[in-house]
Amino acid sequence: MNLGLEGKRAIVTGGSRGIGRCCALALAREKVKICITARTQELLEKVKNEIDQAGGKGYLVVSDLTTLEGCQKVVEKTTEEFSSVDILINCAGAAEGEDILTLSAQKIDQALLLKSFGYLRMAQLVIPLMKKNKWGRIINIAGGAGSSPDRSNMPLSISNISVLNMTRALSDAVSQDGILVNTICPGLTNTQRARDLQKDRAIKEDRSIEDILKELGSKLPAGRLAEPEEVANVVTFLASDACSYMFGSSLYMDGGGRRATP
């Protein structure tokens, strides 16, 4: 299938590792020009080289997307390099968990600052560019915790549910301009972050992290965790011409674990 992505210009936030990195590489294989942004220069440089080797054109901007200035920096530099922006993949940000009985408002603020406010600012900055081209794709990555809250994941849940609502509102605002805005909600995915989250448990239970992740995956209907490349494959479709009639939707890639409605 010809996805019609060759020559398109993309920004991938959180592009230095995990799902963001895999999204950048998947787009690179479609010959997309890609700006990756995160806070760590060394990691970004490595991924930029991988993008070039995969057939894309890589560019990087080190920036802090918790500030308006940081978001503006990324869009301005990308526009200087590529003339415009056609695709935005919002993938930056993760929140710390804490029990609801001891949770501070500050932790919720921190979660919202990068994931929710950063996503919104980036979208607001690229939409005028997409309107000029009468074509655009915005894909937000929001974990499944947005619709599956529990007592330990409220910062993540609150930031993610705000992304789901933002996606629908943005889609309503720009659908007549040829811009499609959608969300992917991965469940637990086989990334370094997933491993980092299980370190304390592994030490406490005297088990390997791999054993714990395998156990968690076995409890899903899919019988395993998602691979970040699988998420990136769906992102690539949503970013393409082949995706032409999906507006304001949220796709759950959680191995069938979700039970909430909708």
Per-residue pLDDT reduced to its tens digit, 60-75: 999 999 999 999 999 9
Helix (H, G, I), strand (E, B) or coil at 109: helix
CB within 8 Å of 81: residues ≥ 6 apart? 35, 59
What is the spatial distance between Cα 146 and Cα 163, in angstroms, rounded to a whole number? 8
Q: How confident is the model at residue 95 (pLDDT cuts 50, 70, 90)?
A: low
Q: Please give the structure tokens belonging to residue 28.
A: 């690179």
One of 3.40.50.970, 3.40.50.720, 2.60.120.260, 3.40.50.920 is the CATH number of 9-189+227-252, namely 3.40.50.720
The model carries a pTM of 0.93
**Domain regions of the chain by residue span:** 9-189+227-252, 192-225
Per-residue pLDDT reduced to its tens digit, 172-196: 999 999 999 999 999 889 988 888 8
- Look at the alpha carbons of 146, 150, 152, 154 in this order and tell me if their dihedral is positive or negative: positive
Q: How confident is the model at residue 261 (pLDDT cuts 50, 70, 90)?
A: low
What is the spatial distance between Cα 180 and Cα 155, in angstroms, rounded to a whole number? 27
